[in-house]
Amino acid sequence: MFGRFGWAEILIIVVLVIVLFGSGKIPGMMKNLADGLNIFKKEITKQKSEHAPAMDSAKKPASKAKAAVKKPVTKTLPKANNKKTVSSSKKTVKKPSKSK
C-alpha cells in the first residue's frame, strides 16, 4: 500500500509525529484535515453539477465536426479558363503552365 515503506519506517514516522506535536494536538489536526477535505469534496461536486449542462452541449458539435473532417473533399472548378483541380486532402493545385 505504501510502496517502498515498510512497517518499521511507518512506525518510526508515527513516533516522530507524536514526539514533535504531542498527543493532544494530533486529534485536532486530524479533525481540521477531515473538515478541509469534506469542504473540498462539496465544492468539486458543486462545480461539476453547475458545469455539466454546458459540457454536454459542447461535446455534441465536436463529434459532428470530427465526422466532417474524416471525409476528403475534392472539388473541380468550372471549365471557364483552364482546368483546375483542388484537393483538400492532398493540398495540391494543378494549373497548366502559361505560354505567350
Which pLDDT tens digit goes with each residue over 2-26? 578 888 998 999 899 889 988 888 8
At 89 the pLDDT is 54
Which pLDDT tens digit goes with each residue over 64-91? 555 555 566 666 766 655 555 555 555 5
**28 band by pLDDT with thresholds 50, 70 and 90:** very high
Grid cell, residue 35, equals 473538515
**51 band by pLDDT with thresholds 50, 70 and 90:** confident
List strand residue ranges (DSSP E) for 1-100, in order: 74-76, 85-87, 92-94
